[in-house]
Amino acid sequence: MKLNPFVKAGIGLTFALLWSCPTLAALTEAKNFGLEVKATAQSEDDRDLGTQKGGDVNGIGLDLRPWVYGESGAWSAYAMGQAVVSSDIIETDTLQQSANDENQQTTNNDRKTKKNYLAMREFWVGYSGFTPYPGEILKLGRQRLRNDDGQWRDTNIEALNWTFDTTLLKANVGVAERFSEYRTDLKELSPVDKDRQHLYADASYQWMPGQWIGLRGHHTHDNGKLDYPEPGQPTDSLDKRSNGDLTWLGIEANSDAYNWRNTNTVNYWASITGMRGDRDSVNALKSDGSRPDQAKRSQDVNGWATDIGVRLRLDPQWQVGAAYARASENYEQNGLQSNRSNWTGTQSRVHRFGEAFRGEMNNMQSMSLFGSWQLREDYDASLVYHKFWRVDGNKPVSSNGIAALDNTTDAAGDIVASTSLPLADGKKDLGQEMDLVVTKYFKSGLLPAAISQSFDEPSALVRFRAGVFKPGDAYGSNVDSYMHRAFVDVIWKF
């Protein structure tokens, strides 16, 4: 495989960091290295809701993630690589967005997802000598950024990030920008990530035992060069068509609800976020193929979102709960989110808006009812029902799980062009979904605190996670009745 310059640079930097560590021999003796082996089987049917031929995924993949970590005084260094081989284009990584890269009509293959690839997930150096607290560290490099609800940050990205984590106060401050995917198949960034800088800060205070309140802020500055359409020239889905500045400010409160080890009889979480900013967007060509009168349009954007939930513990093993989320028609998330968290009260992280639908907080409201079961640290299970609606029945929504298409055919009935399927005007019902996530854990393992968030799982396990989505009338009548996405993951750490 041919490595692009960014991947080469990442690999080179990684080895430079590791071999410059003066305690590499001691690191080896302390077993601060290892290999995470993950085998994933995926079954997926009708992501496109039956709007094109194919659209199904059935395959198995092997994901190998070697890692190495070293410390010398207040300094530390970490790197994790990745090698994936599979029989189909499947998702072995829960951080991987379910984008339709394989379906994009591009003029090149620079963002064409492949079955097999190499990658660098993380490479960073850290310094923890600013304060005497063990939960404080400054990291520079590609790293895992994550907050408890996964709705602000949960991704691997190049960043300078400072974390302060104590019993009473938790805080993060940082700046991040994606320069590369560091994968041998994805040589080009998504247009939304090109030249987009993120600045963020958050702080939470435990004002009484188990009760947290916090403030969060995030700003994105995007001054990337816009790609304007040219008459007679084909467009590319990798063209950058908008940029601008957006700011999010939010307040949150919770009862340590995302800590699956807590034994509270009642758990709750609540957050409200406001967003505002400005955006420049490229205007499309006129219907006759000529240039528009104005090359771009500028607009102010603003919106708000809320997420609330309550969970009741029936006994040491069983919990039930309900959750509600709403995002205004112009609200959008900052692009670093996964929306995965421990909101059902188990060790397994579950998608907040459906394992199949994978909605985002954008012109959407959802109601969720769930039950969960946790048997010590050996088993857990979550059963979730979701119902989704549009807030404005005339505006689109964002979903990483659905890719329905509107096809243009010729006289012979062959598809000559496809675009995203527009939702039916005035129809708000997006659909409903049932999710099931069941996990069996085999053994526990301890990792250095500085790298614990780099791993989604602390144990070897077998997990089944699945969602079945039934589209609502917003998708019209010419789509299939159901779509599903199911995974079996087997993880073992050496």
Mind listing the domains of the chain with CATH numbers? 30-493 (2.40.160.100)
Confidence at 411, pLDDT banded by 50, 70, 90:
low
What does each C-alpha distance from 118 to 4, 9, 18, 31, 338 come to in angstroms? Answer: 11, 14, 19, 24, 22
Residue 485 scores a pLDDT above 70: yes
Residue 415 scores a pLDDT above 70: no
pLDDT value of position 417: 53
pLDDT value of position 97: 63
Q: What is the pLDDT of residues 218-262, one digit of tens each?
A: 999 999 898 888 887 777 778 899 999 999 999 999 999 999 999
Q: What is the pLDDT of residues 340-396, one digit of tens each?
A: 999 999 999 999 999 999 999 999 999 999 999 999 889 999 999 999 999 999 998
Q: DSSP secondary-structure letter at 103?
A: G
pLDDT value of position 17: 44
Confidence at 422, pLDDT banded by 50, 70, 90:
confident
pLDDT value of position 414: 56
**Between residues 287 and 138, which one has the greater pLDDT?**
138
Distance CA(351)–CA(358), nearest Å, equals 7
pLDDT value of position 55: 67
Strand pairing partners for 474?
Answer: none
Q: Hey, what amino acid is at 6?
A: F
Residue 142 scores a pLDDT above 80: yes
Nearest by Cα to 332 from 292, 382, 391: 391
Mean pLDDT, the chain, integer: 87
Distance CA(407)–CA(404), nearest Å, equals 10
**Between residues 492 and 6, which one has the greater pLDDT?**
492
Nearest by Cα to 443 from 467, 428, 460: 460
Distance CA(292)–CA(385), nearest Å, equals 46
Determine the average pLDDT of the residues in 80-97.
90
Determine the average pLDDT of the residues in 68-77.
94
Residue 22 scores a pLDDT above 50: no
**Between residues 379 and 290, which one has the greater pLDDT?**
379
pLDDT value of position 291: 85
Instruction: List Cβ neighbours of 160 (8 Å cut-off, separation of 6 or more).
Output: 138, 139, 140, 174, 175, 176
Strand pairing partners for 187?
Answer: none
Residue 11 scores a pLDDT above 80: no
pLDDT value of position 8: 47
Q: DSSP secondary-structure letter at 183?
A: B
Determine the average pLDDT of the residues in 94-105.
56
Pull the structure tokens for residue 448.
Answer: 């250095």
Determine the average pLDDT of the residues in 115-142.
95
Nearest by Cα to 243 from 301, 174, 329, 157: 301
